[in-house]
């Protein structure tokens, strides 16, 4: 316990300004909800005032509707869960006509998560969703990291050159800014981030779920029909923090939307300090449908307690611990102190 | 359909052990509004204690009863980590509750409708118990009958309620210690045969372990008896957003959702082998 | 919940044969202890009968002694912990003279975990440890995956060609069989496993800790002096299972020693079913110094309950769930069933 | 040095709230052998409840006292998740205990040795409290004095014990509500000055929050008073195998281990800035 607590005068709640920027976007606070964990928003209306969110990311959209994977699709693990939903969604067309109007009306930042089964489908999807430009869609969050579809997915997410080419084509296909959601299964995240930044991405989202597995020893079967699924929740927060920090250090000017195990205001602040410009709440929405706004309130209270007036102050602010005094066989002033 | 769901805190006012490892957990929810007013048999709640960072998702439990003093109860048995904790929840512990959830529920019995055969097993009793309670309260006790199976006599709980409501009960135990020896399908097929012999219209409403539901479904389909199944699928959210609780179905789309389209499904619709 | 429990007659405890093979080795049961979590064994003597272990893996040994990293070196996370011990160890020479004799006397399988700061040091270490051939060392567990040293480490663990070359040199440097401990941070585990198998490794160990981070929001400092550390414990079990399963499917003849979050007999059985031939208990030793033998007993009891007579029966036995009936707009016998 | 450590189960027989958020948790361990027989001030135990898969490692607590009926106690305050749970551990809860741990401990006072100034803060009281208890039991109450600092009067606990044992106590509180206003170094420097003025040999034994220990160390080194510090480092195992609890030192090796070389260290040896 060598780090002395940083002395800081606490602030009144009102002294905290939660507003923040994500590239060109201005957000009222840094707490959004994550793709696949918030459906298309509507179903949370009984539980929270959706207009108070900073923004939300929709379930991943593909050019055509998809039915999703066989069941079982989810299973709980230690401090986390696995899912293999299979990117079930209504398809771009139905999204634009049936879901977007509701979202556009909310006045929050709407990020449409999207993907395709191959590169052409990605581009096609970006082109289709371009119809939402200035009609409610603020960001296209390009998911190159889903472990749950057969073709594409993983490969786009692990090879920088492939990701670069794909991003470039999608950026050219739409007027809406693109944020690329990177795969935590990639060996070199900074290279991936640089590659998509060079291709014109406005920012990156990280992390998506990490590929995992669970087995029912009684039936000798995997607990998910697809054998593998994506691990999310508190268990992965340390990995998310590391990846956000690595990318922020390597490509400091690239805004990062951080996610992975955020379940409290303190978790959110950790991600911001690692280098995220805003955060998304995923799995925690299931247990606490109003959780994202509670997390915003906790963040405000914690910032007040710690004397942090503005979000921008702390983005990526974490610094190495001071070095220990140099080792020597005897204390420097061994004689003096006797 | 009951009111739209909300999330609220509720206090454990009683956690009564029955025999066979079952517990009736009674919770005191808010009074105004009472979130579970008008709850329908088959609807459920998601429960979670202040369990920290493990056991991240809430657990689904059918509502056993809800009264107008804001109290409601569920029937529990220790299955895994979550249910084990709930079985040991002490008085005054606060739980987080989401509900009422579930849109597809059991139809109420009617004076001239088919006799409803309520087929229950294990922790699948609550929706049928509530169905029976409501039937009795509506003066329709004779329109429902409970067929109830368990491993042994100990595995059959809350039977005195059914007696008190004047509802006919047919029992089966695997070890023969009470009622028919065998699965609940034994008294069920006998009852269906009797109905068919005398031209009585019957339908099946069933809830219980999946192997039991499969057998009930097969029987219902084979005998041409309209069959409604209350399913249990693994759930993360309970309100239609995680898409984890998919139920394979025949119909315009390959999957329906246990939490929002169900938990009650027409047996014909369910895509089971 | 579509998978019906597999019917199996249970067995008396005595009907379970826990003995198993790891390549040429025969083990009395599949539960060992993991490197870095069991020191050099001695300190567990007050808590358990060490002779009952299947085997143990020592703290990672380098050619010269190493002092380890500055503090803080550990921190707890959700269902896991981060460590950055820095591979502190007594060095190969002191290990051979001071630690090995005690271990050799135990009559259990002794795996000596080792590493170097560069390729030459790896080879040097293997050569030095070769002195333990038939004097107590059964396996050299080559750690190419430690996130906590500056040079080498990670790179050896993520590039198949580099791992192949390193393994080959070490295999040639010693008569003791080499098991390579792979890095979970690699993007393509099966390729890594194949590469080291081709180079003559007798088997692989996986997984090592996953690189992670935690931040103290009050001090704005990382919770570890080295900023990043290795995540272990229950939280990572789903990732371990996936990697073990992937490698076992890709290179079925290669024995796998599995680790990552094993804390119960059921966990151990899960890893075996995924494809491990034996397991190592790591982090769980800290809370339960006698835990490895308790886990062995739990495994025996669970196998008896499930009617599994021999360990070999279940290694890699997990099979996909049966497919759902094909979808159709109407049930196949819709009319018949009315 | 006490007997070699073991792991055992112990039952909560009392969890007594004091003021200021402190609790004295008393546990009943096995009787034969009694694992904590002969425990030495500074030794500690690792405690963990049946907490499931989260909070995976046990927590370290100095032994406050151990009696020959197999009971022993620790002083607690809620700090994070683990200590919060322990503060709420109900009677009869079973905990897993490893101990006694720690080799480096406080030297016992002697008739002709230096006066031991026991400098305590917060939850650092137990080793010094036990040291004082043992001194009194050995008829050496006059050879030890307690210097005890806290935020306010509420933050100073178990003082009546010291009174009962006839041990001199010097208090300090940050808000001045009891004893000197300021840190415990205020009465400590006065006491050292007094000793130096009259040629009295004194030594410091200290345990408390790290910032306090840093100040005590600085003072001890500056005044040339032999100073023993009982340190708290984050621990996973408590018995020398994880190497997590490194303490930077001067000496043949750059690190020593809090759990096996300590927790008590010579202030000169500790490599702190
Ligand atoms: C609509 C509905 C109503 C239910 N009603 C009752 C009831 O009245 N009484 C009762 O005792 N149980 C009921 N169940 C089952 C109950 O939800 C599970 O037994 C419980 O979730 C198991 O949790 P666990 O932590 O004990 O088990 P674990 O195996 O540790 O749980 C791990 C995960 O699997 C899920 N899970 C495991 N088994 C089931 C299951 N059979 N159904 C759904 N999810 C499961 C859990 O929710 C959790 O997410 C109901 C389930 C559903 C879907
Ligand atoms: C030798 C020794 C004796 C101690 N004696 C006492 C005592 O008598 N009474 C008392 O209340 N506390 C004592 N502590 C401190 C106590 O162990 C920590 O406060 C406790 O571990 C915090 O756990 P937590 O879950 O509440 O905090 P969290 O912050 O949630 O814990 C997270 C992790 O950090 C570790 N940790 C956090 N703070 C400390 C710390 N200060 N020291 C060591 N580990 C820490 C925990 O063990 C855990 O692994 C002692 C510590 C040591 C090393
Ligand atoms: C059930 C579920 C479905 C998800 N679906 C998507 C998706 O469609 N597209 C996507 O980019 N991420 C998806 N994710 C990943 C989350 O958006 C998020 O990146 C991840 O869960 C980590 O955050 P968390 O730990 O807060 O959940 C999904 C996650 C879960 C749990
Ligand atoms: C404190 C600590 C130190 C470790 N040191 C080593 C090491 O020296 N060499 C090595 O190969 N693995 C080391 N490991 C990794 C473990 O051997 C094991 O692979 C990993 O912790 C996963 O298993 P677990 O979840 O059971 O702990 C260490 C792990 C921990 C927690
Ligand atoms: S449980 Fe989440 S969609 Fe049904
Ligand atoms: S706490 Fe593990 S070595 Fe000290």
Query: Per residue in B190-237, pLDDT tens?
Result: 999 999 999 999 999 999 999 999 999 999 999 999 999 999 999 999
pLDDT at residue B6 greater than cutoff 60: yes
Mean pLDDT value across chain C: 93
What are phi and psi for residue C206, nearest 5 degrees?
A: -160, 145
Mean pLDDT value across chain B: 95
For residue A252, give how far its alpha carbon lies from the nearest alpha carbon of chain B (Å): 31
Average pLDDT over residues B95-100: 97
pLDDT tier, C62 (very low <50, low <70, confident <90, very high otherwise): very high
Q: What is the pLDDT of residues A33-88, one digit of tens each?
A: 999 999 999 999 999 999 999 999 999 999 999 889 999 999 999 999 999 998 88
Q: Is C71 on the interface with D (CB under 8 A)?
A: yes
Is residue A73 within 8 A of residue A18, CB to CB? The reply is no
Q: What is the pLDDT of residues D128-173, one digit of tens each?
A: 999 999 999 999 999 999 999 999 999 999 999 999 999 999 999 9
Q: What is the pLDDT of residues D71-90, one digit of tens each?
A: 999 999 999 999 999 999 99
- Which of B236, B272, B273 to mutate to test binding with chain A, by most A CBs within 10 Å of its CB? B236
C236 class by beta-carbon count within 10 Å (0-12 exposed, 13-18 middle, 19+ buried): buried
Contact check, Cβ <8 Å, C2/B272: yes
- Which of D49, D52, D82 to mutate to test binding with chain B, by most B CBs within 10 Å of its CB? D52
Which mutation among D243, D247, D262 tests ligand 6's pocket best, with the greatest number of atoms within 8 A of CB? D243
pLDDT at residue B239 greater than cutoff 70: yes
Distance of CA A58 to the CA centre of its chain: 12
- Please name the member of B53, B224, B254 whose beta carbon is closest to the beta carbon of C78: B53
> And the tokens for C125?
């270490």
- Please name the member of A38, A46, A286 whose beta carbon is closest to the beta carbon of B236: A286
| Chains B & D: contacts with CB separation below 8 Å | 9
Rg (CA), chain A: 21
The response to whether residue C89 sits with its C-beta less than 6 Å from ligand 4 reads no
Range in A2-6, A136-140, A151-155, C119-123 the model is least confident about:
A2-6
Is residue B99 within 8 A of residue B3, CB to CB? The reply is no
The response to whether residue B20 sits with its C-beta less than 6 Å from ligand 5 reads no
pLDDT at residue A254 greater than cutoff 80: yes
Contact check, Cβ <8 Å, D5/C47: yes
- Of D22, D29, D50, D25, nearest to D100 by C-alpha is D29
What's the pLDDT score for residue A335?
42
Cβ contacts of D131 within 8 Å, gap of 6 or more? D41, D42, D106, D108, D109, D116, D118, D144, D205
pLDDT at residue A2 greater than cutoff 50: no
Q: Can A146 be counted among the known catalytic residues?
A: yes
What's the pLDDT score for residue A1?
38
φ/ψ region of B139 (left if φ > 0, alpha if ψ in -120 to 50, else beta) reads left
pLDDT at residue C1 greater than cutoff 50: no
Distances (CA, A) of A101 to A54, A109, A178, D173: 18, 13, 20, 62
Cβ contacts of D248 within 8 Å, gap of 6 or more? A324, A325, A327, C70, C71, D254, D255, D270, D271, D272
How far is residue A183's CA from residue A156's CA, in Å, rounded to a whole number?
Answer: 9
pTM of the full predicted structure?
0.96
For residue D52, give how far its alpha carbon lies from the nearest alpha carbon of chain A (Å): 9
Task: Please indicate whether residue B157 or residue A187 has the higher confidence score (pLDDT).
Answer: B157
pLDDT at residue C252 greater than cutoff 80: yes
Q: Is B221 on the interface with C (CB under 8 A)?
A: yes
Contact check, Cβ <8 Å, D52/B54: yes
Cβ contacts of D74 within 8 Å, gap of 6 or more? D24, D25, D27, D45, D47, D61, D62, D63, D64, D126
Counting from 1 in the atom list of ligand 3, the atom nearest the Cα of B236 is: 1
Counting from 1 in the atom list of ligand 3, the atom nearest the Cα of A73 is: 1
How far is residue B142's CA from residue B131's CA, in Å, rounded to a whole number?
Answer: 12
> And the tokens for C205?
């160990």
Longest dimension (CA), chain B: 58
**CA quadruple B250, B252, B254, B260: dihedral positive or negative?**
negative
What's the pLDDT score for residue A186?
84
pLDDT at residue C336 greater than cutoff 80: no
Strands D144-150 and D65-66: unpaired
pLDDT tier, A3 (very low <50, low <70, confident <90, very high otherwise): very low
Cβ contacts of A248 within 8 Å, gap of 6 or more? A256, A274, A275, A276, A316
For A51-112, give the DSSP string: GGSSEEEPSPB-SS-B--PPSP-EEEETTEEEE-----B--HHHIIIIIHHHHHHHTSEEEE
pLDDT at residue B60 greater than cutoff 90: yes
- Please name the member of A79, A216, A273 whose beta carbon is closest to the beta carbon of C78: A79
A72 prior amide bond cis, ω within 30: yes
Ligand nearest to the CA of A72: 1
pLDDT at residue B1 greater than cutoff 70: no
| Residue of minimum CA distance from atom 21 in ligand 3 | A232
Nearest CA in chain B to D56: B54
The response to whether residue A204 sits with its C-beta less than 6 Å from ligand 3 reads no
Q: Which alpha helices (H) appear in chain B, and where do they start and end? A: 81-87, 125-137, 159-165, 185-197, 210-223
What's the pLDDT score for residue D251?
92
Average pLDDT over residues C299-321: 97
ipTM: 0.96
What's the pLDDT score for residue A149?
54
Which mutation among D239, D262, D265 tests ligand 6's pocket best, with the greatest number of atoms within 8 A of CB? D239
What's the pLDDT score for residue A4?
41
Q: Is C34 on the interface with D (CB under 8 A)?
A: no
What's the pLDDT score for residue A147?
55
Nearest CA in chain A to B48: A287
pLDDT tier, D191 (very low <50, low <70, confident <90, very high otherwise): very high
C4 class by beta-carbon count within 10 Å (0-12 exposed, 13-18 middle, 19+ buried): exposed
Contact check, Cβ <8 Å, B6/A46: yes
The response to whether residue C262 sits with its C-beta less than 6 Å from ligand 4 reads yes
Q: Is D68 on the interface with B (CB under 8 A)?
A: no
Ligand 2: which residues within 6 Å by Cβ? A 1; C 76; D 44, 57, 59-62, 74-77, 79-83, 123, 126, 232-235, 258, 263
pLDDT tier, A150 (very low <50, low <70, confident <90, very high otherwise): low
In what helix (H) or strand (E) does residue C121 lie, and over which residues does it extend? helix C119-129
What's the pLDDT score for residue A148?
52
Q: What is the pLDDT of residues A158-185, one digit of tens each?
A: 889 999 999 999 999 999 999 999 989 8
Is residue C199 within 8 A of residue C168, CB to CB? The reply is yes
pLDDT at residue C338 greater than cutoff 50: no
Mean pLDDT value across chain D: 95
Is residue B197 within 8 A of residue B225, CB to CB? The reply is no
Contact check, Cβ <8 Å, C273/A215: yes
Counting from 1 in the atom list of ligand 1, the atom nearest the Cα of B259 is: 1
What's the pLDDT score for residue D247?
97
What's the pLDDT score for residue A146?
61
Chain A residues near residue D232 by CB distance under 8 angstroms: 1
pLDDT at residue B267 greater than cutoff 50: yes
Which residues of C are catalytic, by number?
146
Contact check, Cβ <8 Å, A212/C242: yes
Contact check, Cβ <8 Å, C331/B269: yes
Average pLDDT over residues B155-162: 96
pLDDT at residue D3 greater than cutoff 80: no
Nearest CA in chain D to B82: D52
B33 prior amide bond cis, ω within 30: yes
> And the tokens for B202?
């019957």
Average pLDDT over residues D198-213: 96
């Amino acid at each position: 316990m060598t780090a002395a607590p940083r002395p800081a005068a606490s602030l009144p709640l009102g002294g905290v300004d939660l507003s923040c920027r994500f590239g060109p976007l201005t957000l009222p606070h840094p707490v959004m909800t994550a793709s696949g964990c918030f459906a298309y928003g509507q179903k949370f209306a009984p539980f929270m005032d959706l207009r108070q969110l900073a923004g939300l990311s929709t379930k991943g959209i593909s050019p055509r509707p998809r039915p999703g994977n066989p069941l079982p699709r989810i299973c709980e693990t230690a401090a986390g869960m696995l899912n293999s939903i299979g990117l079930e969604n209504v398809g771009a067309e139905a999204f634009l006509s049936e879901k977007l109007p509701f979202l556009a009306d909310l006045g929050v930042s709407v990020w449409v998560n999207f993907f395709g089964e191959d590169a052409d489908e990605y581009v096609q999807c970006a082109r289709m969703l371009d119809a939402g430009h200035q009609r409610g869609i603020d960001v296209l969050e390009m998911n190159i990291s889903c472990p749950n579809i057969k073709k594409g997915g993983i490969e786009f997410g692990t090879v920088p050159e492939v990701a670069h080419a794909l991003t470039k084509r999608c950026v050219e296909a739409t007027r809406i800014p693109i944020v690329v959601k990177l795969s935590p299964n990639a060996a070199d995240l900074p290279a991936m981030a640089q590659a998509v930044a060079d291709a014109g991405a406005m920012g990156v989202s990280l992390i998506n779920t990490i590929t995992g597995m669970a087995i029912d020893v009684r039936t000798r079967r995997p607990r998910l029909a697809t054998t593998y699924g994506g691990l999310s929740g508190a268990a992965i927060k340390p990995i998310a923090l590391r990846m956000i920090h690595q990318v922020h250090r390597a490509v400091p000017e690239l805004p990062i939307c951080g996610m992975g195990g955020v379940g409290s205001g303190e978790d959110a602040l950790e991600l911001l300090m690692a280098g995220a410009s805003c955060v998304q709440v995923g799995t925690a929405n299931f247990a606490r449908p109003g959780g994202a706004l509670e997390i915003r309130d906790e963040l405000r209270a914690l910032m007040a307690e710690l004397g942090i007036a503005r979000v921008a102050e702390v983005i990526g602010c974490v610094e190495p611990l001071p070095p220990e005094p140099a080792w020597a066989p005897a204390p420097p002033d061994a004689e003096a102190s006797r | 359909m009951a009111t739209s769901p909300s999330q609220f805190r509720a206090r454990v006012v009683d956690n009564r052990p029955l025999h066979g490892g079952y517990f009736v957990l009674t919770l005191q929810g808010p009074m105004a509004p009472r979130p579970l007013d008008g709850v329908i048999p088959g609807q459920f709640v998601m429960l979670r204690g202040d369990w920290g960072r493990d056991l991240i998702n809430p657990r689904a439990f059918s509502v056993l009863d809800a009264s107008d003093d804001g109290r409601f109860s569920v029937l529990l048995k220790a299955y895994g980590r979550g249910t084990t904790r709930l079985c040991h929840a002490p008085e005054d512990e606060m739980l987080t509750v989401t509900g009422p959830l579930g849109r597809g529920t059991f139809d109420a019995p009617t004076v001239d409708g088919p006799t409803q055969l309520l087929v229950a097993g294990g922790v699948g009793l609550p929706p049928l118990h509530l169905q029976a309670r409501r039937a009795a309260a509506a003066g329709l006790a004779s329109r429902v009958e409970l067929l109830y199976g368990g491993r042994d006599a100990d595995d059959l709980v809350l039977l005195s309620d059914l007696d008190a409501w004047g509802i006919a009960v047919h029992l089966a135990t695997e070890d023969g210690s009470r009622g028919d020896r065998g699965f609940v399908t034994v008294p069920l097929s006998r009852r269906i045969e009797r109905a068919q012999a005398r031209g009585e219209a019957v339908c099946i409403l069933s809830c219980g372990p999946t192997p039991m539901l499969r057998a009930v479904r097969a029987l219902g389909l084979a005998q041409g008896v309209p069959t409604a199944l209350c399913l249990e699928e693994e759930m993360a959210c309970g309100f239609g957003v995680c898409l984890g609780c998919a139920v394979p179905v025949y119909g315009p789309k390959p999957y329906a959702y246990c939490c929002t389209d169900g938990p009650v499904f027409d047996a014909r619709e369910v895509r089971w082998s």
